[in-house]
């Protein structure tokens, strides 16, 4: 359940401009 918990804050950072976290957010969403 670490992906879901990390997916929340990651998505916020991705919106700010985190290209490195982009793939991480997609994994949590998908």
What is the structure's pLDDT at 24?
60
Q: What is the pLDDT of residue 6?
A: 55
- Residue 23 has a pLDDT of 61
Give the three-state DSSP class for 20.
coil
CA gyration radius, the chain: 8
Residue given tokens 């929340």 in the structure block: 8
How many domains does the chain contain in total?
A: 1
Q: For the segment 1-30, what is each residue's pLDDT rounded down to a tens digit?
A: 455 555 566 666 656 565 555 566 556 554
- Position 1 scores a pLDDT of 41
Closest to 14 in 3D by CA, of 23, 5, 4: 23
Instruction: Decide: 6 and 27 in contact? Cβ < 8 Å.
Output: no
pLDDT number for residue 20? 56
pTM, two decimal places: 0.19
Residue 3 lies in domain: 1-30
């Amino acid at each position: 359940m670490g992906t879901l918990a990390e997916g929340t804050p990651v998505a916020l950072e991705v919106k700010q401009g985190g290209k490195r976290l982009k793939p991480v957010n997609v994994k949590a969403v998908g």
